[in-house]
Structure formats: structure tokens, C-alpha cells
Structure 1
Amino acid sequence: MQKPIITVVAILLTALSLNAQDTSPRYPLIPYPTALRPATGQFTVTAKTPVVSADKRFSNEAGQLRTLLESGLGKTLPTMGSGPRIVLQHDPSVTAAEGYALTITPQQVTLKAAQPVGMFRAVQTIRQLLPVSVEKPGTTVASLPLPAVTIQDQPAYNWRGMHLDVSRHFFSIDYLREFIDRLALYKFNKFHLHLTDDQGWRLEIKAYPKLTSEGAWRTYNNQDSVVLKRAQTNPDFDLPKQFLRQQNGKTQYGGFYTQAQMRDLIAYAAARHVEIIPEIDMPGHLSAAINAYPMLSCTGQSGWGKTFSVPICPCNEPTYTFMETVLSEVIALFPSPYVHIGADEVEKSTWSQTPACQELMKREGIKNVEELQSYFVHRMERFVQSKGKKLMVWDDALEGGLKPSTAVMYWRSWVKDAPQKAARNGNDVVMTPVSTLYFDSPPGSQSVENVYKLAVVPEGVTPQRANQFLGAQANTWTEYIPTENRVDYMTMPRMTALSEVVWTGKKDYPSFQQRLLPHLLRMEQLGIHYRLPDLSGFAEENVFVDKATLRIRKPLDSYILRYTTDGNQPQATSPTLPDGLVIDKPQTVSVAAFTPSGVRGDVYTLRYQQQAYANPVTVSAPKAGLQVRYFKKAFRKVAEMQPLTADSTFTTTNLLVPSSVNAPSFGLQYRGYLTVPETGVYSFFYTCDDGGVLHIADRLVVDNDGNHFPIEKSGQVALSKGAHPFSADFIEGGGGFTLKLKYSLNGSAPQDIPDSWFSH
């Protein structure tokens, strides 16, 4: 059973006399090693440098290191020789399977490990220390420098995963190989493939050929319609033409992997020490299978219930025959010790209405449909265990009861005690909270930092239970992610932050930010369409009194900032943004950064309006803090609170949500005054999950309304020194909330608003 292995970190740090991470550009490593001692000088790799490995157990890793270096040098390297060389050595004193030691001096590079997987991790560290030019095919140099250093390294957690949904939208085997390559680069070891869902069945099952001949294809659904509309302005949303076919006069979209293709992919991943975990979702999310084999549902047909799709029927024995046959082929194909069956979001209404289910529940003493789902899960677990495998499910399955032997992936952030409940039940847990690690949620200015702040072991877990938290994984659901470029954009660079969280154990976000910048250049060489860093120094809604000057600092010198003022989006041919663009009339400026290869970052639309300084108001006998009206109800927009009577009222010192606000869905109205210490143009940055609207001096400053993931929106207001009416509305629809408000004055760095500024 895999467990966290963080106990040796302190020992290694002491041995190397380190107290902090070295943020020098010489060591731009992600994830950061357990312990690193800087050294002076460098080792220079040339075409004469031997790569020596006397131990056959490391032949795969030595071969991959040699291929990497030869690609960068354009020459074949010797495998033996004296003088400066690179040596791979077996070292049984390295106790962790994935642990390694790396020493680079001007005379020699020495990689030590006890297991091949540890040696492979060492090779990836070498890869990150090499110039980024090694990543671009066809680019060769005469020599490759490696900075001198001593590293002792091993992971903090044994589950370091990424997930990709290939059911909602299909992705080629070639892209999956590329995805595995980047997992290896950042020392991930798990690749969770979501192979089946309502929208498509993606794996060949020889016993049931219609699962792919019919279940792998669909006519355009409502999600396809959404992405095709977005494709009109962003080609990253266009459906890949190679996955379209004409069938019976209709255009169908889809595809599947043959077992031979999947076997090759599994071998490719294994050579890079990445384990592929298959997910065959059941008993819900199976419309693709039911469409092909209608007898699987209790009603004999597919369809939708109140919330989710009609599931398979757990009360008919042919259902179990079908699922066990499917799982038998899956288990024979995938060497992973885990089999994931989902068991989430099950629409159980057809079960309660089916005589066969009523009879089964009576016979087995099952009290409700939640326990009926557990009955199904337990039967599947017995079968999976009979094949020598371990069952894994989403945390929804806890509701009806799980055996301690089942591994649980926690995703429902709004069910805050689910991880603790699973641990108390004896289940191993992998953290995948939707609030942080669902990479299908829109990335924003704080998304990388939010990932970096993840607690792998949540609060409230006793030290005795901490070892049941195997690690963490980010999930990429693809309802609205139809292309490889879009997957790149949604996952990168967020996944680099996760890699450090689950490998290093010790976090240092400022250091990570510095080390990330060289990795963006590496991603560019690799052809990864990553999301460029956010531009800053402005608000979306801007004001000026006489005139304003737009200045944007580039995250990387290699980026080019281009802009338009005619309503069109910036293109590679648009004018370059000057160092200071003077704004002296109301207008809209669109700005985007471009990489040297032509990849465009997010387009920022900056609206400018002229505004006089708002006059302050007189507040008689002000009291500290803001008054708050509390509504215990779900809202789609903040305006829906307006006509209602609040359930209660209270006072807060700042714009925050006290612990007494514990309704699953709620709305809050903050009212009072904001007293600013000097006259100026103030920018406000309002982060909401779900929605919020901010007014100051009776002027709309930020509109961040609606139900959505955490999003920061910004606006400006011109204020004279003194007190001004303050109004902030906030709604939480369920699933965990985020509420933050920061300000800046005349372009200064955003900061928290002092409590002393608020009164009522």
C-alpha cells in the first residue's frame, strides 16, 4: 500500500545544512528537490563525454539520458571512457524507491539510485538543468553546460497524478504520449484516464464490439455546439477534423483506442515510470453503453433523470455479467493495481421505481437507493479484488457506505468532512478538490497560486490518519475542451505547481514563481500551448480624471505586447504597445502578449472612462466595520437578494465571511462607508466564487456577478480624500466559496484594505 514518505526531509536538509531554497537561475528546478547544496563551476557535456552505466538495471534510464544529450549535441556519445564523464551508479543506501542522489562537479556527473524509477527521476533533474534548447528538435550546439550542485531528493507523496477525460472529447494516442512526456518531466507518476462516460466509450472491448462501433460516436451535442460557437473567435475550440465521420448521412464525432494501441501506450508510460489508471465509470455516466446495449438500464433505454443520466440497473444479473466481462478485459490490459469505477453522480430514481430493485432491496435488507449503490459497488469490489486489484471511487460513494479496502478520490469541496470521514473509515484518500484541482475551471491570475497552496492532508486529520492520504491529483474534464491546444492551455502551468506540492512537501511560492519563468521558455520549445502569465498594472474598468498612462511590464523579455483600439482582438501584425500609452479620452484598449513562436496569451480588454473625483460624505458618529445582511438561499445573481428580507444581520470588521455563515448556499450584502486617506484613482480587485458586485461612492466599480469558479475582476474609481458610500454584494451557490477584495492607489501593488477604512 502506498504511503506518504516525508519523514526523511528534515534529515536530508540537516545533512546539507540548508535552511531555504536556492532561487538562483542556476537551479530552475520544478519540483524543487528535497535538499540542494549550490556549488561553483559547471560540467560541460560535449560529443566526447561518455555516459557510463555498468549496472544493467539502469539501461533504460541511461538510454533516455543519452538520447536527450545526443539530441542537443547532434552527436552520438560514447558509452565508456575516462576523463570527464557522466556515471549512473546503483546505491542501495538510497532507501526510497523514487529517491536519488545527484552530484555535479566540473570533473564528473554522478547519478545514484537504488531503483530504476529513482534513476529516471534523476535524469529528469538533469534535463531541467540543461539549456532549454535541448527540447527543440533540430537545434544542436557544440556543448551543454550543467551547473555544479549536490542534490538529495525523494518525493513527499506516492500519488502524484494528472487526469484526462477522453470521453467528452477524444484525443489522439500521439497527444497522450506527449502528455505522458510532460508528466515525466515534472516527476508525476500517475495518469488517470477517464475512458467512458455518457458522451463516448473510448476503449475497445472485444466481448461487446458495439461499445465502440456505436458508443464511441455521437452527433453533435449541446457541448459541441458551445465549443463550435467559441471557435468563431478562438480556433482552439474547433472540433478536430480527424475525429469526424459521415454515417448514414449524418456527421458523427468521436473515436476510440484499440487494445493494441492502449497496450503500446501503457508500455510507453511504463518506460517513463508513469502508471496509467483506467476509469470505467459505473453505475452512472453510462449512456454511451446503454445506447449500444439498452438492456443495461432498468427501463430498457437511455435517458436523463432529474439531474443525471439514467444509470445501469444494479438489480438484474445480466448487468453484473456485462460489467464483470468489461472489467476482465480492462484488468488484463492495465497493469496498474487500481481500477477506478467512478460511482459518482448517479441518478437513482429509476431504481426506486423498478420492481426488481424493490425485490432485491427487500431480500438483502437494503433500506434506500444509496445503500443499493453501495451493494453494487461492493459486488464490483469483490470481483476486482478476485483479480488481484484494488477498487477506487469518487467520494460520492461514501454516502451509502464503503468498505475500508476501497480507495477514495475526494472531489466535492462543499462536503468538507468527506476526507476525514473516509480516513476514519479506513479508506486511502487521494485529494482532487474541485475548488482547486479541477483544471477545466477557467484559469486566472490566482489559479497557479491556489494550486500551490493545496493542503494534501486537510485540517482535522489526526497524525495517525495522515498516512492514509496518498497524495493529490488534478482532473481535466473536457466538456468544453475539444483540442490539444486547449488542454495545454488549461493544464499548463497549473500542473507544475501541483508537481511541487506533491513532491517537495516544503512550499516556497516566491521561489517557485522565479523558477517557473525559465520553464515557460522550455514549454515553448516543447510546443506546449501553455497559458501565458497574467499581465498586470491595470484594471479592466479604468477611469482617468485628466489623463492616464498605461504601462504593462512583460513577464518575460521575449514576449511582445500588441494592442488595438478599434474593437478587434490583437493579432501578430498589430502595433507593439509602447512603454507608456497616454489615455486622454474614453476608449477601449485590447492588449495581448505574444511569444516568439506566435502563441497569443489572454486578450485583456481595458475600458477607460473619464471621471471626476467623487466628493466625500459626512458620517455622523461612525461605528467600526460593515453591516451585513445574511440570506440563507441560493441565488443566480446578486440582484435576486434585493427584494427579500434578510434572515439575519451582523457586523464585520472587513469584507469577510464569518464562521457563523454556514448555510450551503447564501447571499451577503455589505453596507457602510470606505474612508480613503488621500485623493486619487483607486483600483479594486474583487475575487468571487460564486458572484459579487462592488459599488463605491454610488458608482459601479466591479461587476463579477453570476455563479462561477473563483474569478478576479477589477475596476477603478476616482475618490477624494474622506468617506464614501460602500456597497458589496456576494453570493455563494454551493460547493465552497472565495471572497477577496484588494486595492491599489495610482498603480501601486494590490494590497489588503485596512479594517480602519470601513465604518457604518
Structure 2
Amino acid sequence: MKKMINRSLKITLVLFFCALSTFGQQAKPTYAIIPRPVKLIPASGTFQWSNSTKIILAENAQRLAPALNELRAISANLKKEKGPVNVVTLNLDASIENEGYTLSVDRNAIVINAASVQGAFWAVATLKQMMGAKIFQAKQVMRKTLFSSIVIPCVKIEDAPRFAWRGIHLDVSRHFFDLRYLRRMIDRMAYYKFNKFHLHLTDDQGWRIEIKKYPELTEKGAWRNMNDQDAECIARSKTNPDYAIPEKHFKVIDGKRMYGGFYTQDEMRGLIAYAYSKGIEIIPEIDMPGHMMAATNLMPWLTSHGKGGQAKDFSEPLCPCKETTFEFAENVFTEIAALFPSKYIHLGADEVEKSSWKNVPECEALMRKEGLKSVDELQSYFVRRMEKFFNTKGKKLIGWDEILDGGVSSTATMMYWRTWVPSAPKHAAEKGNDVIMTPGEFCYFDAQQDGGSLKKVYSFDPYQFNLTEKEKKFIIGIQGNIWTEYIPSERRLEYMVFPRMLAMAEVAWYKGGEDWTGFEQRVHKHFPLLDAMGVNYRLPDLDGFITQSVFVDKGILHINKPLAGLTIRYTTDGTLPTMQSKIFTEDLTVTRPVEFKVAAFRSNGNRGDVYTINYEQQNYLKPVELFTAQKGLNFSYYPKFYKTVNAIQETDLAKQNISAVIEIPVEKTADSFATRHKGYFYAAETGIYSFALRSDDGSVLKLGNRLLIDNDGLHPAVEKTAQIALEKGYHPFELLFIEGGGGYTLNLQYKAPSGQLKDVDSTLFFH
């Protein structure tokens, strides 16, 4: 993630000029605001907020009144002691961009100007961040010792969002989250200026919203027996209690213990109103025509073959060739349209098992009647017809990017997620469709985090898809998605979302990728705020070690602590570290094979990731003798889909050449493929060599005819590390890689015995 001449002088000058710039908050912890404001001018002095602070709504600003509740709540949690007489004023200014605001903090006055209530909400969110952890501590932790005042640094801010759509998506079908927790999610979204909450309310695993026309959808469809995903969570909970499935979501039905839950329409109205009071719009998704097993198991007549359950790759979809299907869909969406005030309804329309529509008499007849040439066009027929129905209810249709298959009207909004279809955003924008960017590579928060995940999200450029300036205007926003197959609890959800959500907030509001160091510093300043909010965020990685380490005579275990206030604890008996385990205070000398389990702990007892560090004793591996050695590696390319590198077949070989470096093909010849780099690695000196292999999807590194790193399988970008003891000379080398679609990540770094970790280069490889 991550020249020494006159370094101290350079740093001093940089910090000095940053303090003078309009973005001085990047170097000053006083203004650790996320997302970064468009313009910030530091000022001297502070404003002291107390119970004596007056909050005034200007005469012309009645439309901004909902924001007053947020301001008054701050004073309500302070001691009733006399403080300085000062004023907070909320003004309406129609000249300000929608959702924009100005914020002026002087010693005796705070003035907020906004053109909309949303802009006023975001100004309050900025104020709260400058107030620090006290506003949460006073409310939640320190009731008996409330603060009498809160100090806010003086500043002038002019701010407005980059995108109108700044969304968070939550799948409540795979695992259910109750209303109390959804309100907490909304609070945290508002704190970081997200304005769209996309609720994935139905899927194969459960139907979560009451439909009065079909009460069985929640009476029965909201409850299930334990499935394979639940079983995996239960297995993982043996070593990580955050995977435990909460007991509150179980119910005994007909003598069976079932998992589930749902929201009544009245409950959802309350949640919608709560979200609105925070400046957030809730967008419902009822996923059709696929992902409908929760309904089709109860109503099998909705499918082409009169049965629910699983089909070839996905579940049996609704049949788009029966009028009874549209009667059902329109009845459902009539209630959804009446319940949700949002102008958007999300139809889903992803991962549809279209093969179920082949050789069906009704579908063949419909295709002849409508002039449809393929089942892709049947999908388009369903989407277009539903969009017309949505329009009669005053709603706009959103669909996942599969709605492009077979054609789509220019009035639909596309949500782009399939990174292995990089042409989709441009294709949609060319046709005039609004696009919400949520590619899985950057925006899927259910993907396991590692040391590079936060920077990956921060680097996201929604315009990187070969878009013209005209086409960029159709990109209306971005969104982080949370799919919950393996996220059963609130603590696990928070661990997967935070701090990535902070990076997504900055990309959506300001821009990402420009100042990683400054952003990372601000994130570290927000950890105490997250602590005060009770968020179970993921701690920064421990580093300084190699997980598969070796030594010849002795080794040294060194661990870098990423944050002050953390305590590092370890075990050597195979058990997981606890608050009672040994504390790591200094480097440890290793003289025998041993396995360390290491973790960092926050002061509140929350544990970070557990790292397993194995030490193996080795002799230096002898090199092979090469009579001729030419630079480069033998490169092989296999344009097929594989789940593991062991599945690679030589009969699939499409291309061979000599590659100077480790790389994946630049030309796009297949969405899924495999590669092999084979030859010799040259060790320039005898000693311990370290390697770090990062890939999305799977990779395997073999060195000296040994399996050194196994990073195999279909997975998001993951890095694994290992060491090997090598004598100077040439050593057999092989690197296998599979790309399942979308990630296109393969990076190999190494550290020589007397060097630093860096990317491998052409000087190291021979054939």
C-alpha cells in the first residue's frame, strides 16, 4: 500500500504550505473531515458549544427546519451549565448548489447556509465530525459525567458533492438485520454524507417485506431451514464469534427451528421516515425475474416448468411468457410503489437462468409474436414491460447491468457491477442511460479485506471505463454493496464495511486517489470516533513479518504496530490470542520451528485479525546448473474458465511466448483465462528470500520445485507471503494464475537477503 536527501526539510516545507492552502485540514488533525470538503480555510480560535448556545432558524429557511433536530440533539446531551453566549444560525441560500452548503465557524457564531434540507444535513455532519468523539461519549458512555461543552475549531468551508447518488446497499435476504440496526446504519451513513440506502429485500433465501396481497410471502417465504451459507458461518464461528448467527432471528414454526424475519409495511414506513429525517432516501429492490426462490417455492406456477428450486446455474426464474407472472409482479410492485416515496424502484434482473425459457411452448409463441430472436431478448421484454408499469406509478426503473442483455430503453437506470464486462458503462451511456457505478472489484464490501483493501476503494475512478466527456455526464453516482451470504451478525457486518465505507464516501463526495497518505491519516483520526459509536471496524494490518518464515540458524520475529494504543498479543500453543495472552513488546528470537498466532487488541477488548506466522528451519537450497541462460520466462496462455490452477489443461493452450516480466495479458481475448510463467529465478546472493504474491483470482508460486505460496481458488484480491533459503544461482520457477472474471490482479514482490521488498523485474528471470 504504501530519497532520503533533505527529507526532514522537505516534510517541513510540505506541511507549511499545506497549512496555508485551502486544504490545510489534510495535514492538521483539527480538520480530519471525511469526506474531504471541496474548500476549507483554517482559522484561529474555537467555538464553545454549550447549553447556552442559541440555535436560530432564519425567517426564510423554514424548509431547512428538519436539520434543527440534529443541532438541538447536540445540546440535549450536554450538562445544563451556563456557558458562553453564542449563536448557531441556519440560513436558506438559493444560490448554493443542491446538497451543497457553506459553514462558517467563528469564536461567537456558527453560520450554515444551504439551498436544501439535504445540504443543511451535510453541514451538520461536518460539524459533528469537528466536535469529535465527545458527542457520542456523552450520549452512550458517560451519562453520569456529561460534558458541559464541546469545542469546535474555527474554519470556513464551501462544500458540495461530486455525485448526486452516494449509496450503500444492504442485502437483508441472505441474512436478516432488524429495524433497530438499520437505524444505526442510517445514522452512520448520514455521518459520512451518503444519501441513498438501497435495500435488497428479496432473494432466494428469504422475502423480507410484507405484501398484503400475498401474505404467504412473509408468513412462509421469510423463514428457512439452515442452508449451506449458514453452515459455513457456524463453522467459522468456532474461531471467530462474529460469525455466530444471532438467536433473535430464529423462530419455531410447526415444531421446526427456522431462521428469518421480515418488515411489516408499517415498520418500513417508520424506517423510511427515520431515513428522511437524516437526509437519506431508501430505494427498494425486489429482484425479478431471477433470484425468486423464496416466492417460487410457494408459487411454482410462476416458473416456466411449474417448479421452484435450483436450475442449471441459478434458481428457476419467473416465466416472462405467462400473463399470470405479470399479474403477480404488478400486484407486488403496486404495493411497493405506494409504500416507498423514492422515485426509484430496483428490479434487479441479474443472474437470470434464461436457459429455463428454452423449448417452452409459451415462450416460443411469445418470441414469434414479438419478433424476439433469443432468450436475452425475452429478458429485455420482461424488463421493458416492468419499466412501463413502474412509469404508470411515477417511478423510474433501476436494474443491474444484465438489463443491457437483449436491449434496454434509454429511460432505465443501470447499476454496473460486472467488472468482467468493462464495456457496459460506456454502452449504457452511449444509449443515454443513467449509470450508477458499483463494480465488484472496488465496491463489494462482502469481499474479504486485507492490507490493500482500503487503498483499493480509495483508488476507484468511476470514469475509468473509456468514457467521453459527454458520456461521463450519465454517471450519476457510486455505491458500496454489502451481500450477506457470509455476514450473519451486526459485528461481522461492521467489520466488513468499516473503514472501507469512509473511502467510498470520499470517492463519492470529493474524489479518491489523489492523496492516499492524507486520507489514511484522517482515517486514523476517525478510529476514536468509530470507537465512540461502538463500531466494530477492521484494524489496520500488522506487518513487518512473513507468514511462512524460515531460518537457517536463527530468525527474528518483528511486528510493526500500525496505531498507538494497540496491544499486540500472541500464543505459541495453537490457541487464538485473548486478552490474557502474552504481550509482544520487542523482537523475538526464533531458534526452533514454531507457530505464532498474533493479534492486536483495542483498549475496549476488540480483537483485530489473527495472523498465523510459521517458522520452518531450512538448509540453503542448492541451485541448478544452466549452460545457457536467456532472459525472460516461458509464458503460456489458456483462454478458459478454471476454478483452480490444478484444473489447467494443456489442451486449452492458445498462445506461448517469452515474457520479460510477470504480467497478465493486456489484450482482451477472454473474460476468464489462465496463465503460466515458467523458467528460473536468479538469486544474486545466498540467504533468505521473501516473496509476496497478490492475486484476484487464484495463483500458485513454485520455487526450487517446492510449493512456496498457495493463493489458489476464486477470490478477490488477496496477498500471501512466504520465505525460502536459497544458495546463489538459478532456481526453477513457476507461477500459475487463473482469472475467473473481473479482477485482473497479479503482482509478485520479493525481498533479497540484503534488500527491501519490491516488485520482481526482468533482471531476475531466465529460461
Among 33, 50, 53, the residue aligned to 1:46: 50
Offset of residue 759 of structure 1: 3.0
Offset of residue 553 of structure 1: 2.2
Q: Which moved more, 1:526-535 or 1:586-595?
A: 526-535
Matches within 5 A, 1:475-490: 475-490=481-496
Partner amino acid for 1:582?
A: T
Q: Secondary structure at the match of 2:124?
A: helix
> Are 1:22 and 2:26 an aligned pair?
yes
Q: Secondary structure at the match of 1:516?
A: helix
Among 629, 636, 639, the residue aligned to 1:629: 636
- Structure 2 CA distance for aligned equivalents of residues 169 and 28 of structure 1: 34
Listed one character per residue, the Cα deviations across residues 639-680 of structure 1 (whole Å, up to 9, x for unaligned) are 333765743211222111132463222221212333345444
> Are 1:529 and 2:553 an aligned pair?
no
Equivalent residue, structure 1, for 2:647: 640
Q: Secondary structure at the match of 1:742?
A: strand
Equivalent residue, structure 2, for 1:519: 526
Q: Secondary structure at the match of 1:457?
A: coil
Matches within 5 A, 1:223-302: 223-302=229-308
- Structure 1 CA distance for aligned equivalents of residues 189 and 384 of structure 2: 33
> Are 1:399 and 2:405 an aligned pair?
yes
Q: For structure 1, list consecutive stretches of 5 or more residues without a partner in the other structure.
A: 1-12
Partner amino acid for 1:75?
A: K
Q: For structure 2, list consecutive stretches of 5 or more residues without a partner in the other structure.
A: 1-16
> Are 1:717 and 2:719 an aligned pair?
no
- Structure 1 CA distance for aligned equivalents of residues 755 and 276 of structure 2: 50
Going from structure 1 to structure 2, the CA distance change for 1:641 and 1:290 (only over 3 Å counts) comes to closer
Listed one character per residue, the Cα deviations across residues 58-113 of structure 1 (whole Å, up to 9, x for unaligned) are 33212212313442x333899xxx8433332223332x111111222333322221
Q: Which moved more, 1:720-729 or 1:435-444?
A: 720-729
Query: Could you tell me whether the CA contact under 8 Å between 1:186 and 1:499 is conserved in 2?
Result: yes
Listed one character per residue, the Cα deviations across residues 421-477 of structure 1 (whole Å, up to 9, x for unaligned) are 111121111111122211111111111111111121233111111110111111111
Going from structure 1 to structure 2, the CA distance change for 1:39 and 1:697 (only over 3 Å counts) comes to farther
Equivalent residue, structure 2, for 1:99: 100
- Structure 2 CA distance for aligned equivalents of residues 573 and 46 of structure 1: 42
Among 382, 386, 389, the residue aligned to 1:380: 386
> Are 1:58 and 2:60 an aligned pair?
no
Equivalent residue, structure 2, for 1:115: 116
- Structure 2 CA distance for aligned equivalents of residues 26 and 677 of structure 1: 49
Among 88, 91, 105, the residue aligned to 1:89: 91
Among 52, 75, 84, the residue aligned to 2:80: 75
Q: Secondary structure at the match of 1:280?
A: strand
Offset of residue 26 of structure 1: 1.3
Partner amino acid for 2:743?
A: G
Query: Could you tell me whether the CA contact under 8 Å between 1:70 and 1:77 is conserved in 2?
Result: no
- Structure 1 CA distance for aligned equivalents of residues 387 and 554 of structure 2: 68
Equivalent residue, structure 2, for 1:148: 154
Partner amino acid for 1:31?
A: P
Q: Which moved more, 1:281-290 or 1:51-60?
A: 51-60
Q: Secondary structure at the match of 2:43?
A: strand
- Structure 2 CA distance for aligned equivalents of residues 297 and 488 of structure 1: 37
Q: Secondary structure at the match of 1:628?
A: strand
> Are 1:501 and 2:525 an aligned pair?
no
Query: Could you tell me whether the CA contact under 8 Å between 2:425 and 2:465 is conserved in 1?
Result: no
Equivalent residue, structure 1, for 2:661: 654
> Are 1:310 and 2:316 an aligned pair?
yes
Among 573, 578, 602, the residue aligned to 2:585: 578
- Structure 2 CA distance for aligned equivalents of residues 305 and 360 of structure 1: 22
- Structure 2 CA distance for aligned equivalents of residues 661 and 650 of structure 1: 17
Offset of residue 345 of structure 1: 1.1
- Structure 1 CA distance for aligned equivalents of residues 90 and 543 of structure 2: 45
Going from structure 1 to structure 2, the CA distance change for 1:638 and 1:329 (only over 3 Å counts) comes to same
- Structure 2 CA distance for aligned equivalents of residues 329 and 640 of structure 1: 49
- Structure 1 CA distance for aligned equivalents of residues 48 and 712 of structure 2: 56
Offset of residue 399 of structure 1: 0.9
Equivalent residue, structure 1, for 2:11: none
Q: Which moved more, 1:714-723 or 1:190-199?
A: 714-723
- Structure 1 CA distance for aligned equivalents of residues 44 and 702 of structure 2: 56
Among 593, 609, 616, the residue aligned to 1:609: 616
Going from structure 1 to structure 2, the CA distance change for 1:545 and 1:37 (only over 3 Å counts) comes to farther
Equivalent residue, structure 2, for 1:132: 133
Among 564, 569, 582, the residue aligned to 1:562: 569
Equivalent residue, structure 1, for 2:551: 544
Going from structure 1 to structure 2, the CA distance change for 1:731 and 1:85 (only over 3 Å counts) comes to same
> Are 1:757 and 2:764 an aligned pair?
yes
Q: Secondary structure at the match of 1:400?
A: coil
- Structure 1 CA distance for aligned equivalents of residues 356 and 652 of structure 2: 39
Among 444, 453, 459, the residue aligned to 1:447: 453
Q: Secondary structure at the match of 1:292?
A: coil
Query: Could you tell me whether the CA contact under 8 Å between 1:683 and 1:747 is conserved in 2?
Result: no
TM-score by length of 1: 0.93
Equivalent residue, structure 1, for 2:220: 214
Query: Could you tell me whether the CA contact under 8 Å between 1:492 and 1:531 is conserved in 2?
Result: yes
> Are 1:192 and 2:198 an aligned pair?
yes
Going from structure 1 to structure 2, the CA distance change for 1:555 and 1:65 (only over 3 Å counts) comes to farther
Equivalent residue, structure 2, for 1:329: 335
Equivalent residue, structure 2, for 1:600: 607
Q: Secondary structure at the match of 1:422?
A: helix
- Structure 1 CA distance for aligned equivalents of residues 628 and 155 of structure 2: 64
- Structure 2 CA distance for aligned equivalents of residues 602 and 656 of structure 1: 30
Offset of residue 208 of structure 1: 1.0
- Structure 1 CA distance for aligned equivalents of residues 161 and 616 of structure 2: 52
Offset of residue 184 of structure 1: 0.4
Listed one character per residue, the Cα deviations across residues 534-588 of structure 1 (whole Å, up to 9, x for unaligned) are 1111111011222222222222222211110000111121111122122221100
Q: Which moved more, 1:321-330 or 1:499-508?
A: 499-508
Offset of residue 125 of structure 1: 0.6
Query: Could you tell me whether the CA contact under 8 Å between 1:538 and 1:747 is conserved in 2?
Result: no
Partner amino acid for 2:71?
A: L
Equivalent residue, structure 2, for 1:685: 692
Q: Which moved more, 1:501-510 or 1:562-571?
A: 501-510
Q: Which moved more, 1:210-219 or 1:630-639?
A: 630-639
Q: Secondary structure at the match of 2:35?
A: coil
Q: Secondary structure at the match of 2:31?
A: coil
- Structure 1 CA distance for aligned equivalents of residues 336 and 647 of structure 2: 49
- Structure 1 CA distance for aligned equivalents of residues 115 and 188 of structure 2: 24
Offset of residue 218 of structure 1: 1.1
Partner amino acid for 1:87?
A: T
Equivalent residue, structure 2, for 1:424: 430
Q: Secondary structure at the match of 1:519?
A: helix
Going from structure 1 to structure 2, the CA distance change for 1:442 and 1:17 (only over 3 Å counts) comes to closer
Equivalent residue, structure 2, for 1:361: 367
Query: Could you tell me whether the CA contact under 8 Å between 2:25 and 2:31 is conserved in 1?
Result: no
Equivalent residue, structure 2, for 1:588: 595
- Structure 1 CA distance for aligned equivalents of residues 580 and 616 of structure 2: 27
Q: Count how many residue pairs are aligned between Structure 1 and Structure 2.
A: 742
- Structure 1 CA distance for aligned equivalents of residues 270 and 493 of structure 2: 22
Q: Which moved more, 1:515-524 or 1:39-48?
A: 39-48
Query: Could you tell me whether the CA contact under 8 Å between 1:21 and 1:511 is conserved in 2?
Result: no
- Structure 1 CA distance for aligned equivalents of residues 492 and 317 of structure 2: 30
Equivalent residue, structure 1, for 2:177: 171
Equivalent residue, structure 2, for 1:31: 35
- Structure 2 CA distance for aligned equivalents of residues 350 and 198 of structure 1: 16
Equivalent residue, structure 2, for 1:696: 703
Offset of residue 270 of structure 1: 0.5
Q: What is the identity percentage for the equivalent residue pairs of Structure 1 and Structure 2?
A: 46
Partner amino acid for 1:42?
A: T
- Structure 1 CA distance for aligned equivalents of residues 487 and 291 of structure 2: 18
